[in-house]
């Protein structure tokens, strides 16, 4: 009875079924353990993955589901063994809230590749309870999966960096592509793609945006600072770019041909896949063999990379291009995101919203 009386409740906005429609949902927030951080959520970015998960596009959604994995908030309580954070700190939580700690990826501080990683929502925590995301008033997270937001960085600007930012930063860092003077391509100019342009430019790269239409040309060149903008179906322009790029970051989350973009890579160039696609992709092997080219993938980033990325963005003065909305607009935001009608990331002002409405 005492344990029941001690239960803490919080309210978030949850999807109840594959319609993906979110509405208020009250649930139990676990007690703050010795290594846990209790966070009052201030804002949370909306990622394309939230759309996939709430609508069960990947066939593994569990309901009720509170989405959101670009979480920024204020520490209101810390466990007795927490050493990295104190009450009042502004912190962030990304896609993960747990890992096994003993596998090869974990030993290399690459928690995102742990086979037993625990997602920040639509998963089951070590206590057997479902994890819930950042479209809520509060969350409790193990200190390993919490990062400090650099002083002076606006919380709503920091939120998209916790997924979109580190998703781009991680492969550029891992594959030795941080050095200046490289030529890169960004395929798809959404939430991840726009951060790809900004981060690559800050690293000193010549950046070409490859898109399906001219709709974002002016924004890419003027607002984001891209050096070139190419329509993927423009065979003449694509032919001019052949064998010229060190890498292409492919953020497209739907089925598409790979050959046009493989042809843009120079010797030893890399096509880095980031879109979650449930259909098989295909390519002709000579396109790889005759240029020793690589098709690879990269998945979000580690906690260490997240900390590095935040400091890099602070040092370079990088920010996201966002549209801030209240929670009562979130279903409309999801509809617009599905139509790619956002420049370039929605961020929900959680603390300024009435979550009980």
Largest Cα–Cα distance of the chain, in whole Å?
Answer: 73
Query: How far is the C-alpha of 12 from the C-alpha of 89, rounded, in Å?
Result: 22
Phi, psi of 259 (to 5 degrees): -55, -45
**Mean pLDDT of all residues in 207-235:** 95
pLDDT of residue 222: 95
pTM score, two decimals? 0.93
3-state secondary structure (DSSP) of residue 287: helix
pLDDT of residue 6: 58
pLDDT of 316? 96
- Using a 10 angstrom Cβ sphere, with 0-12 exposed, 13-18 middle and 19 or more buried, the burial of residue 3 is exposed
Looking at the chain, the whole-number percentage of residues with pLDDT higher than 70 is 98
pLDDT over 70 (residue 3): no
Report pLDDT digits (tens) over 55-67: 998 899 999 999 9
Angle at 223 between CA 91 and CA 200, to 5 degrees: 65
Q: Closest Cα partner for 357 from 335, 327, 332?
A: 327
pLDDT in tens, 9-32: 999 999 999 999 999 999 999 999
- Write the pLDDT tens digit of every residue in 297-344: 999 999 999 999 999 999 999 988 899 999 999 999 999 999 989 888
DSSP string, 323-337: EEE-GGGHHHHHHHH
For 86-124, the DSSP string reads: -TT-EEEE-SEEE--SSSHHHHTT-GGG-TT-EESSSSB
Predicted confidence (pLDDT) at residue 115 exceeds the cutoff of 50: yes
pLDDT at 275 over 90: no
Whether residue 226 has pLDDT greater than 50: yes
Integer CA distances (angstroms), 290 to 207, 260, 285, in order: 24, 15, 9
pLDDT of res. 178: 96
Distance CA 61, CA 82 (A): 32
**Which residues are 165's β-sheet partners?**
none
Q: Is the pLDDT of residue 80 over 50?
A: yes
């Amino acid at each position: 009875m005492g344990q029941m009386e001690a239960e803490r409740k919080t309210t978030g906005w949850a999807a109840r079924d594959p319609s993906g429609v979110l509405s208020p949902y009250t649930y139990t927030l676990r007690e703050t353990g010795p290594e846990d951080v209790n966070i009052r959520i201030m804002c949370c970015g909306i990622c394309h993955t939230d759309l996939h998960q709430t609508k069960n596009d990947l066939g593994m959604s569990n309901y009720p589901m509170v989405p959101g994995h670009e979480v920024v908030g204020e520490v209101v309580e810390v466990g007795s063994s927490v050493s990295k954070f104190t009450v009042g700190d502004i912190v962030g939580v990304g896609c993960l809230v747990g890992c096994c700690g003993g596998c090869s990826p974990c030993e290399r501080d690459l928690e995102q590749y742990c086979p037993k990683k625990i997602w920040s929502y639509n998963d089951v925590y070590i206590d057997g309870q479902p994890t819930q995301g950042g479209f809520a008033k509060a969350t409790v997270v193990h200190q390993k999966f919490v990062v400090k937001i650099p002083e002076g960085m606006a919380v709503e600007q920091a939120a998209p960096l916790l997924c979109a930012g580190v998703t781009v930063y991680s492969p550029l860092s891992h594959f030795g592509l941080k050095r200046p003077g490289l030529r890169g391509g960004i395929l798809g100019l959404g939430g991840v793609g726009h951060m790809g342009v900004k981060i690559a430019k800050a690293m000193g790269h010549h950046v070409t945006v490859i898109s399906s239409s001219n709709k974002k040309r002016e924004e890419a060149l003027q607002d984001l600072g891209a050096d070139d903008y190419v329509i993927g179906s423009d065979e003449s322009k694509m032919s001019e770019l052949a064998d010229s790029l060190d890498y292409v970051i492919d953020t497209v989350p739907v089925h598409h041909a790979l050959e046009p973009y493989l042809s843009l890579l120079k010797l030893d160039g890399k096509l880095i896949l980031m879109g979650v696609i449930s259909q098989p992709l295909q390519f002709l092997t000579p396109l790889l063999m005759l240029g020793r080219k690589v098709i690879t993938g990269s998945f979000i980033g580690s906690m260490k990379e997240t900390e590095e990325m935040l400091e890099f963005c602070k040092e370079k003065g990088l920010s996201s291009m966002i549209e801030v909305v209240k929670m009562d607009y979130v279903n409309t935001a999801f509809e617009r995101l599905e139509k790619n009608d956002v420049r370039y990331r929605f961020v929900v002002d959680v603390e300024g919203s009435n979550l009980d409405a």
